[in-house]
Amino acid sequence: MTRQLSLNAFLHDTGHHEASWRHRDSAVDRIHDIDFDTQNALIAEEAKLDAIFFADAPGLWGATPFRPAGHLEPITRLAAIAARTERIGLIATASTTFYDPYNLARLFSSLDTISRGRAGWNIVTTQSEAVARNFSLSELPSASERYIRAQEFIDVVTKLWDSWEDDAILADRESGRFFDPEKVHSIHHVGNHFQVEGALSQPRSPQGRPVYVQAGSSNDGRAFAGRNAEAIFTAHQTIEDAQAFYSDIKSRAVAFGRSPEDVKILPGLSPFIADTRAEAEELQRYVNSLTVPAYGIAQLEGLAGVSLAHLELDEPVPLEVFGQAGDVLDNNRSRLQVIANIVERDRPTLRGLLHRLAGARGHNVVAGTPTDVADIITDWFQNGAADGFNVMPPLYPQLLQEFTQKVVPILQDRGLFRTEYTGSTLRDHFGLARPESLYGADATEEAHVV
């Protein structure tokens, strides 16, 4: 079979455009309604998409009066959605900086079991100072410290998820033995950040481990992804930037002894879709006209760490404003570099730049016909820039529906996307192998009986 696209729907309140909630038909009164989440999940499932995904931060991060704020916790939301869907993968964000590994291992193992093997974990280290203050910390650990903790975190949860071998449960009424103690292992982890005895409080889940997803682009983030990630969310404006990222991550994975196919690279794509290009552009113009410049400016100032108060909205942004963007591989600078590149390449006015970013915070926003969108996807997929896409509709559910009903069939006709699910787990959808337990029969590590 020809190589197949992976398509993920990134669910985000009324849509990814920051002003989508002000659209006359937005679902702004339903963003805390699980029926709305489920409706979007079912649209994605009907089109055979690989997964839905929720972002998260454990705090009222970046909340301003100009945008819906206060999202529900994603693992809980996905557990509710799991009960009302059958095949679609369910990816939740959770932070290695603020969770404890044992708690997190229980939650994802439960989600994987409840959903019969559809859980994925978007592993983030969380960049917010304000969030740190919710967790008894006066300041956020540095980015490199956070990634060091993240690696130990992964090592611990991996051992916990593997601590019950797949055939540990006997449920033998005759002998009276429910499980085989030889097959349930303490992990005895002793490290710099964590000391965890184990075993996990529950048996191995259907996928063995949730799918490991990651979304960082700095040097530390890429190293972490190359070693651990099975799917990566990333933001690129041009195919050239995406190609460079793609080959870098694949070679890092190979350097860790993995195969390039073991990691799926999914850039963000936020498409305004209509039957004609003019209508799609008009829709984009309308939603852009609803933005509040003060909001966009505050976001941009926060990201760039500079004041933009001296700039005129309708004058070109001077190059030097983002000239200090720094190396794309420095921690937390990757999205800023995307913005610096837009300013250098397209010389937008400040209002124009704010509109570019309003769509999806630096992800690739396009406006066109279903064929235009399918052509971009095909081009990136066939030319070493992507294994699929993290689809970020500007307005939910309308523009998800346009995508699933009009773009997906074109991709199916081109033989690039499934017309039916061929498996039942998220690993099946992504074409990823189910990992053996580290403590299985062939394990070289010493087995520890509970």
Ligand X SMILES: Cc1cc2nc3c(=O)[nH]c(=O)nc-3n(C[C@H](O)[C@H](O)[C@H](O)COP(=O)(O)O)c2cc1C
Which residues sit at the interface with ligand X, rule CB under 6 A? 55-57, 93, 124-127, 143, 215-218, 220-221, 233-235, 268, 331-332, 334, 390
Assign residue 431 a region: left if phi > 0, alpha if psi is -120 to 50, beta otherwise?
Answer: left
Minimum gap (Å) between residue 96 Cβ and ligand X = 10
- Would you say 114 or 132 has its CB closer to ligand X? 132
Minimum gap (Å) between residue 122 Cβ and ligand X = 6
Minimum gap (Å) between residue 56 Cβ and ligand X = 5
Is position 421 annotated in a ligand binding site? no
Query: Beta-carbon neighbour count of residue 234 at 10 Å?
Result: 24
Is position 437 annotated in a ligand binding site? no
Minimum gap (Å) between residue 360 Cβ and ligand X = 9
- By the 10 Å C-beta count (0-12 exposed, 13-18 middle, 19+ buried), 435 is classed as middle
Minimum gap (Å) between residue 328 Cβ and ligand X = 9
Q: Helix %, strand %, coil % for the chain, to 5?
A: 40, 15, 40
| Joined tokens for residue 133 | 């203050």
Q: How far apart are CA 275 and CA 84, in angstroms?
A: 32
Give CA 305 to chain center in angstroms: 25
- Would you say 61 or 295 has its CB closer to ligand X? 61
- Would you say 208 or 267 has its CB closer to ligand X? 267
Residues whose CB is less than 8 angstroms from the CB of residue 105 and which lie 6 or more positions away in sequence, other chains included: 156, 157, 160, 161, 200
DSSP designation for 168: -
- Would you say 268 or 296 has its CB closer to ligand X? 268
End-to-end CA distance of the chain: 45
Minimum gap (Å) between residue 276 Cβ and ligand X = 29
Is position 147 annotated in a ligand binding site? yes
Is position 56 annotated in a ligand binding site? yes
**Among all residues, whose Cβ is closest to ligand X?**
221
- Would you say 85 or 93 has its CB closer to ligand X? 93
Q: How far apart are CA 196 and CA 160, in angstroms?
A: 9
DSSP characters for 415-435? T-S-SS-S-SSHHHHHT-PPP
Is position 95 annotated in a ligand binding site? no
- Would you say 16 or 204 has its CB closer to ligand X? 16
Peptide bond into 397 cis (omega under 30): yes
- Would you say 87 or 146 has its CB closer to ligand X? 146
Minimum gap (Å) between residue 231 Cβ and ligand X = 11
| Joined tokens for residue 149 | 């903790």
Q: Which residue numbers belong to the known binding site for FMN?
A: 56, 93, 147, 217-218
Q: Which residue numbers belong to the known binding site?
A: 56, 93, 147, 217-218
